[in-house]
Chain A
Amino acid sequence: MNSTEARQEIDRLIAAQDAPAAARALADLWAHEASPSAAGFVVPRFEQLRPALKLQPYRLAILRSFTVEPMAPLLRAAAFCAGLDLVVHVSDFNAHVQAIMDAGSPLYGFAGDAVILAVQTRDVAPELWNDFTGLTADQVQSAVTRVSGEFRNWIRVFRNKSQAHLIVHNLEASDTPSGGLLDGQSANGQSVAIAEINRNLQQAASENTGVHILDYDALVARHGRANWHDERKWLTVRLPIATIHLNHMVREWMRFLHPLTGKISKALVVDLDNTLWGGVIGEDGLTGIKLGTEYPGAAFQAVQRALIDLYRRGILLAICSKNNQEDALEAIHKHPGMILKPEQFAAMRINWGDKSQNLREIAQELNIGVDALAFLDDNPIERQQVRSALPEVFVLDLPSDAMEFARIIRECPVFERLTLSAEDQRRGAMYQAQREREQLEQNITSREDFYRSLQQEAEIFPLTKATLARIAQLTNKTNQFNLTTRRYTEQQISELVAKPGWDCYSIRVRDRFGDNGLVGVAITHQQGDTAEIDTFLLSCRVIGRTIETAFLSFLVGQARSKGAHQLQGWFLPTKKNAPARNFYSEHGFTPAHRNGDGTLWTLNLTRDSLPAPEWIRLHVLNGDK
């Protein structure tokens, strides 16, 4: 179908009021021709379809020192295709300082979910860009200090005035350094000075929550410094980026929007033949498949390396392959070229069944939604089958050339993360341990014997800077064992705990199969003789092992030691938190009050006690509050 026919087909689907099909066709069109022209076609049609589609609204402000207007429709088209209804606010030229400093500026009036600060080296560090060879070493250093300090100050002031995420472009090096070859010979060169500002900027961002660096220097380098710029457009309309690269800028912004809006996949399900290795194991056999350090097997080792990087980023890996299980397992376990290890796969479906059915089972086994799966398969027919049977699965498009696969996996925005907790990094290993726990549970008949055999140890500690990100993450994604389902940002939690009477505790659990990491959060506040549990949640991976009793018992002890006579807490029912429904009643709390939102439960501390289960070794640590 050529592009005119594709456009006619889309307008036919819209006229027939088939919004989901029209949206898919628009996304297909965009995947094939992401251009200013296609954006002009795609955006108004999504706007027309908006009422019939479940799009997630998102507001993005761009503070800039150059023309970004032509990128706004490209960005909105890309966002629509990802299920986002994006409102873009663009600040005046070089108005970023005023916008950030002035609480009454249009920036804060817009109240965006995220803000991009896109300023160029030549605008914020003109002396380093235009007149570098005229500067002494001291002047260079003072320019580095000035610019670094300005960035630090903008970030600090913005963070105090807004809870929005902030994405800061770092500074690009010049493609033609003022000193020519000399620049590379000197410890005080132009490139070194700009790199130093970038290091300081990165440091300033990491000291604040919700501030992220967009490595603009690396983006420009990736596409070729000499080709990225268009001097004509810069001098005439203040657009520094060449036409063909506008969409690369937009794709880089989208890489941030995916994790910021939760448009991400938690697991990647991969095919085997011609995906993890070259050839077909059932026909070519263990010695015939292509997998090794030389061409063509090297392309598949590159795929496996890309997958290992995702695994270490906390993305679960699973296998779905049409094969005889025995043949495939032999290759996975014994082929010398395998980089991935069998235990790095959290689930496997190797059979001749329908792939969409296998994907459903994998999602169930991993205890995640089907919409949290991504699917990698070299076979376009399998991809099409999964796309039509399970449109909520993210299907990666692969070309026929296997040497392209690794790059496509690495560029895929649904695997992007902006923070990485220790739990994320160990997630694959934790699923492996969970399978061993389940086997143990099946072999032991009494519950109590099972609890004892787990040899659980728990550490409870107050809020620390190191755990804040994980705590906020848990409040936002825990749905099942969550008494009140209150969602908090890192910023909000810090503010809450700073108030008198408020505390935040988290619990970390280890057992004979490994470390489960930080798996539970409780937020409490006390006024007079009443302590209240604002938030109490546990990750589903430790539910049913009496950790919740140990944690609650700790809260009872805390409240009593601070002089409370009663401990109370709400249970606010949602569609998903049924596993927590009987939590308070099972621990001796009685209902005290009921309204349309839920039930307030209370425990009389002067009369009742709540011992911790004796099979859990409990350690209470001091934090830095």
Chain B
Amino acid sequence: MSAPLFDRLRTIAADVLEVTPAKISADSSPESIETWDSVHHLNLVLALEQEFNLQFEPEEIDQMKDIQHILDILGSKVA
């Protein structure tokens, strides 16, 4: 797991989901974070696209069930 990538993801997720970065871990998901609803999920996707200057495929967005999955997808696209 790439630590700098996780840190960047954590900062963005904390911003968008309006929680402190400490509350974001690899297994954070819509189940564990109350503000993570469908609108915030879309905002998170858009925030990552802008920050990393990339575009996710619809299938990739479907797989983003928790922070670990997002990190894996990001890692495969950034690398």
Contact = CB atoms under 8 A, between A and B. Distances in A.
A and B assemble together = yes
B33 interface: no
Nearest to B49: A243
A236 B17 contact: no
B28 interface: no
Contacts of B16: 36-37, 40
Interface residue tally on B, bucketed by range:
10 to 19
B5 interface: no
Nearest to B56: A232
B47 interface: yes
A44 B47 CA distance: 17
A318 B52 CA distance: 44
A36 B47 contact: yes
A73 B39 CA distance: 11
A135 interface: no
A37 B51 contact: yes
Interface string B39-75: 1001110110111000101100100000000000000
A70 B42 CA distance: 7
A316 to B, nearest CB: 39
A244 B39 CA distance: 18
Nearest to A246: B46
A4 interface: yes
Interface string B1-27: 000000000011001111000000000
Interface in A26-61: 35-41, 44
A interface residue count range (under 10 / 10 to 19 / 20 to 34 / 35 or more): 20 to 34
A36 B61 contact: no
Contacts, number: 50
Contacts of B42: 67, 69-70, 237, 239
Contact of B47 (A37, A230, A232): A37
A73 B44 CA distance: 12
A389 B22 CA distance: 39
B39 A236 contact: no
A230 B55 CA distance: 9
A53 B49 CA distance: 33
Nearest to A242: B55
Contacts of A235: 58
Contacts of B55: 230, 232, 243
B23 to A, nearest CB: 14
Contacts of B57: 232
Contacts of B47: 35-37, 40
A36 B43 contact: yes
Interface in A388-435: none
Among A40, A69, A246, find the residue whose CB has the most chain B CB atoms closer than 10 A: A40
A122 B19 CA distance: 38
Nearest to A67: B42
A244 B44 CA distance: 14
Contacts of B39: 69-70
A605 B8 CA distance: 79
B58 A41 contact: no
A38 B61 contact: no
Nearest to B20: A11
Contacts of A67: 42
A365 to B, nearest CB: 45
A36 B17 contact: no
A232 B61 CA distance: 11
A335 to B, nearest CB: 45
Contact of B43 (A4, A40, A41, A232): A40
A230 B44 CA distance: 17
12 contacts: A4-B11, A36-B47, A37-B11, A37-B12, A37-B50, A38-B15, A41-B15, A67-B42, A70-B42, A73-B43, A243-B49, A244-B50
Chain A to chain B: the 10 pairs with minimum beta-carbon distance, closest first: A40-B15, A36-B47, A37-B47, A40-B16, A37-B15, A243-B49, A41-B15, A37-B12, A36-B46, A236-B58
